[in-house]
Structure formats: C-alpha cells, structure tokens
Amino acid sequence: MSDVVNLKEKLSMIQEQWSPRIVAQMNDYHLKIAKIQGEFVWHTHAETDEVFMVIDGEMEIHTRNEVIAMQAGEIYVVAKGVEHKPVAEKECSILMVEPAGTMNTGDAGGKLTVDSPDWI
C-alpha cells in the first residue's frame, strides 16, 4: 500500500531555502521538494537530466544560452551536461525529479551542497 504525499503539507514543514527534501522514490529516482529564493550556483549534471516543476510562485532557469521563465504548474527538463542556474526573485516552491544520489550542486560543490537530503 502506498501513501499519498501532500506537497503543500510537506512544503509547510520546510523553513530554509535551497535545502531539498525527498518526498518519494520511484525506481532509482528521488522526487524532491524545495523552497528557493535568490540565485543558486552555476552547475551541471554530466550523467543525468533534471526535471523542475514549479508548485507555487515563479522561477527562471538560466543556461549559458537562454533564460527559461516558469510559473506554477509548469515543468522544464534540463538536459544532462547543460550548465544551469535556478533563480527566483520571490520565494518559490519546486519539485525536482532526478536519480537518487544526485548532488543538488552537481559539479560545483560549495556551501549550498546538500550531500544527503532528508526524507520529509
């Protein structure tokens, strides 16, 4: 038997920004939620695509060639190997889908790296 995950309820449990939490697993993929605001770091994921879905608010995904503007209910897939940087002027809630063990800062590392996201 599976549990239904209420994303709004789970998001209400998160206070810090840029700190993803795992809400579900599908095969070898984690579904992670986060609250974001400001600019993240430029990074790439050489081995995997990364899915972003805006749950609430607005965000942009900057690549070296374009800026993708997203609103609530929209999904964008960043192809593997594409350098990108998420940006949100105001607080935004997002869902990400990526293989388990994928580092949030990809190849960049740094102070925003979450080595092992908590389940929420």
pTM of the complete model: 0.92
What DSSP character marks residue 2?
A: P
Closest-CA residue to 84 (of 114, 110, 107, 58): 107
pLDDT in tens, 44-83: 999 999 999 999 999 999 999 999 999 999 999 999 999 9
- For tokens 């972003």, name the residue: 52
Written out in words, the top-level CATH class of the domain with range 7-99 is mainly beta
pLDDT in tens, 6-24: 999 999 999 999 999 999 9
Q: State the Cα–Cα distance between residues 78 and 114, nearest whole angstrom.
A: 19
What DSSP character marks residue 43?
A: B
What DSSP character marks residue 8?
A: H
